[in-house]
Amino acid sequence: MTIFRIAAFTVFVVGIAATALSADPVDRVWIEPPTLKGSNEPFSPRKIIERTGTVQRFDDSGMVFIVEGETTTVQVSAARVIWVEPGFNDAETIAALKQFRDEDYAASISPLLASVSRGTEVWRAQWLSMHLWQAAFQAQRYPAVLELVNQIDARPLPPMILGGLPVQWLGERLPTAAIEAAQKTLADDDSLSATKLVAASWLLGQANDSQAVAVLQSLSLQKERPVLALLATTLLWRKALPPDVRVNHRRWRNQLSNMPLTLIPGPTTLVADRLEAAGAADESLELFLSVGMTPTRPDPVVKIAKERSELLLEQRGQQGESQRFKQE
């Protein structure tokens, strides 16, 4: 099965931005369908499961959810939770999330931090913190990003939150302030695993990234946190030279197709980038489109994937398709 399994699901991210801005505190949840095992039926589209109701618990072990209008609880594994839009009924949090989604990142930092500090449920605080570290990253407050990730990583995190880590999936050089913050983090014995993963991703591809590579290799081999091991393994693909990309890309795509849907936007964009660098423009475009057109969750790389898709379409002389893609 290729990575285009994503396209077989209902695209749900369009329009979800308004969900958390409602005064109605109903939560919305998107769940990956269970894997079909032992079936000889040909592959057919499976829709993402969307539910509204109340999240009672959400952590690294799973989610407990009461569907709106029902009394029985639904339990799913944490890996199947693709995305959650919590319902908030306080004006401050609603306003902070609107600022974030309007890309007024610097202005959203203080009210988001206040929302996290108001004593909300742990999973909601983690969800808000995921937006807070993304806002801080976009505002180039790099030491604060890593400090926040380290604070949140003190508790076990579900894959959905780990999938939203401010990882540098592509090779663009970050500002000096980010490099210095990442170096300091890796030198700090108090830095936790997710924080090291993020810091190492910021340093990968620099002139001397041997420490970052060593950190990612160590994280990829540890058994305690499989999701972090998976993300670290994927990040190391950035080091592959074009001949290695051509040898390994089918295996990589197979691994992508087996990842939880909540994790795949960043890794898929990474593989697309490496394929383009290796001269495989057609396969690169396919993967960029899969993220840009049918994203499985909100993620900063979705915008990048759209831009790269448009550029590749234009380079192929498909200006009409590029324009239609922009309109969509």
pLDDT at position 320: 67
Buried-state track 84-109, b at ≥16 Cβ within 10 A, e below 16 = bbbbbeeeebbebbbbbbeeebeebb
Mean of the pLDDT values across residues 13-32?
A: 63
DSSP 236: G
Per-residue pLDDT tens over the stretch 100-130: 999 999 999 999 999 999 888 999 999 999 9
Q: Give the distance from CA 98 to its chain's centroid.
A: 20
The predicted-structure confidence for 292-304, as pLDDT tens digits, reads as follows 988 999 999 999 9
pLDDT average, residue stretch 130-137: 98
Tokens of 123: 């999973």
Classified as helix, coil or strand, 49 is strand
Nearest Cα residue to 258 out of 30, 32, 29: 32
Amino acid at 127: W
Please tell me the distance from the alpha carbon of residue 2 to that of residue 301, in angstroms, as a whole number: 20
> How does pLDDT run across 42-98, given as a tens digit for each residue?
444 568 899 999 999 999 999 999 999 888 889 999 999 999 999 998 999 999 999
Length of the chain: 328
The answer to whether residue 23 scores a pLDDT higher than 60 is no
Residues above pLDDT 70, as percent of the chain: 86
CB 13 within 8 A of CB 297: yes
**5, two tokens:** 């399994």
Highest mean pLDDT out of 116-120, 181-185, 316-320: 181-185
Any alpha helices (H) in the chain, and if so which ranges?
Answer: 91-101, 105-116, 122-138, 142-152, 159-162, 176-187, 193-203, 210-221, 226-235, 242-257, 265-277, 281-293, 300-315, 319-327
Average pLDDT estimate for 12-20: 40
Residue 13's pLDDT is: 42
Nearest to 156 by CA among 122, 187, 133: 122
pLDDT tens per residue, range 219-247: 999 999 999 999 999 999 999 999 999 99
pTM for this structure?
0.89
